[in-house]
Amino acid sequence: MSVSDTLDVQLELLRKSRLVLSSSSLGDRNAALMLVADALEREKEYLFQENRRDLNASAGRLSDQMLHRLAFTEDKLESVVNGLKDLVGLPDPVSRTLEKRMLDDGFILERRSFPIGTIAMIFEARPDALVQMAGLALKSGNAIVLKGGSEAACSNRALVKVIKNALDGSAVGNGWLLQIESHGDVDAILRKDDYIDLVIPRGSNAFVRHVMENTDIPVLGHADGLCSIYVDKSADVDLAVKVAVDSKVQYPAACNAVETVLVDSGIAERFLPPFAKALKPYGVLIHGDERTGSIIDCLKAEEKDFDTEFLALELAVKVVDSLDEAIAHIMAHGSGHTDCIITGDDEARDRFFNMVDSADVFCNCSTRFADGFRFGLGAEVGISTGKIHARGPVGLSGLMSSKWLLTGHGETVAEYSGKNGRKFKHKDIL
């Protein structure tokens, strides 16, 4: 039996199990989430042991930022467990009435939320992402196919084992979760548009682009995280330094870490020296344009630096002469992920909010807040820079589709047609 044929059998079983999950009660799904959270804490030493095997095998082969993503630490365990528990407290996303309209007396139309169906998550070096995605799929009633990178094989295998064991015999079962491991399965999954309803890739730019370019299945995600901060001339310098430093150093390998800082010429001489001083203990390399270099010591920026997602302790800095110049730079070089203005001027904030066409647009706070858990979504499956279906951090609502449900009493179109036909009332009742 070929890889594709074997996968078809697995996906057919997955589809059947999905029906059990999607029709389960909120109480059953919440109970299952708690079973998983408890199991992860109970089996943490086993999980850490398997993660160390991956880290040891990857030492000297992966970059520091990739190793950081690969590590499944106490902090990451606590984060994913808290995320699962937070999901329990969120409202049921399934069969929620989104619209309700009376077409005529007793003739009621509703639009309700329902699970998308079967989601394939293909990711690199992020064991914690596996737990987040499994938890969101469980709460939202979606089946999930998980394909992690080979560098995290032991970690992912252990996590799936713990999750499946925790749910064995539960009301929702564990058949809605399928892990695939072979490299050939990736390309096979991307061709399974008859089984897979949505693909979510998480990983490097090249990896996400590969997924987007090699499937007809809808893809939710982003290829680049070129995030910028604009320090307006009216900004409070201390606040600006605090926010910009956190945006860079708190987790530089994240897609929501700042990569470019644009500084208004009216504040550059007051902001840049304390900013450079605050970055120095972290060893951040600054690639500055000519005007930046005349104020602080830095590497001479090349044009490509303003199109680079460093994902490391590096960033590009440019002095601009106006808010509009900053917006134009972001439009030309940004990726539509997360951009921020630091300002004391409400009009400047509102213009930035209206003109910057990104999934997340912030004012006076770190770009690192672009995250599903921090947004109160419980967790996230990733951040989408697309404009159709879901945008920004994607939590439960981004994993839902909808159906139109119409309940009548024998109505026919003929009754509402022609010169003497009945008239629709079209009265919204929600």
User: Which segment of 7-11, 160-164, 167-171, 247-251 scores lowest on mean pLDDT?
Assistant: 7-11
**Does 85 score more than 70 pLDDT?**
yes
DSSP 170: S
Lowest-confidence pick of 33-47, 94-108, 217-231: 217-231
pLDDT tens digit sequence for 337-375? 999 999 999 999 999 999 999 999 999 999 999 988 888
Q: Do residues 279 and 312 touch, judged by C-beta distance below 8 A?
A: no
pLDDT for residue 143 is more than 50:
yes
Q: pLDDT at residue 230 above 80?
A: yes
What confidence tier does 63 reach under pLDDT thresholds 50, 70, 90?
confident
Joined together, the tokens standing for residue 176 give: 């809605």
Strand order in the sheet with 338-342: 299-300, 285-288, 314-320, 258-264, 227-231, 338-342, 360-363
Q: What average pLDDT is seen over the chain?
A: 93
CA–CA separation, 143 and 176 (whole Å): 5
Confidence of residue 210 (pLDDT cuts 50, 70, 90): confident
Residues 373 and 83 sit within 8 Å (Cβ to Cβ): yes
- pLDDT for the residue 185: 81
Given this model, what pLDDT does residue 289 score? 98
Neighbouring residues of 55: CB distance < 8 A, sequence distance ≥ 6: 67, 70, 71
Residue 102: count other Cβ atoms within 10 Å of its Cβ. Answer: 15
| One-letter amino acid for residue 218 of the chain | P
More confident of the two residues 301 and 387 = 301
Over the stretch 165-181, which tens digit does the pLDDT of each residue have? 999 999 999 999 999 98
Q: Has residue 223 got a pLDDT over 70?
A: no
8 versus 204: which is more confidently predicted?
A: 8
The reply to whether the predicted model has a pTM over 0.85 is: no
Note the Cα 90 to chain centre separation in Å.
18
Percent of the chain predicted with pLDDT > 90: 78
What radius of gyration, in Å, describes the C-alpha atoms of the chain? 25
pLDDT at position 2 is 52
Backbone angles phi, psi at 120, to 5 degrees: -105, 120
- Mean pLDDT value of segment 229-233: 98
Distance CA 234, CA 351 (A): 14
**Digit-coded pLDDT (tens) for 256-286:** 999 999 999 999 999 999 999 999 999 999 9
Q: What is the pLDDT of residues 294-342, one digit of tens each?
A: 999 999 999 999 999 998 999 999 999 999 999 999 999 999 999 999 9
For residue 3, is pLDDT > 60? no
Helix pair 127-140, 153-167: axis angle to 10 deg: 30
19-29 pLDDT tens trace = 999 999 999 99
Percentage of residues of the chain with pLDDT beyond 70: 99
Looking up tokens 């860079």 gives 248
- The type of residue at 382 is G
Phi, psi of 64 (to 5 degrees): -60, -40
Average pLDDT on 404-428 reads: 95
CA nearest to 359, candidates 398, 394, 391: 391
Which pairs from 319-322 meet CB under 8 Å and 24+ separation? 319/262, 319/263, 319/264, 319/265, 319/268, 319/289, 319/291, 319/292, 319/295, 320/230, 320/262, 320/263, 320/264, 320/265, 321/264, 321/265, 322/264
Q: Say how far apart CA 89 and CA 378 lie, in whole Å.
A: 9
SS3 content of the chain, % helix, strand, coil (to 5): 45, 20, 35
Q: In this structure, are residues 39 and 163 in contact, taking their beta carbons and an 8 Å threshold? A: yes
pLDDT at 1 over 70: no
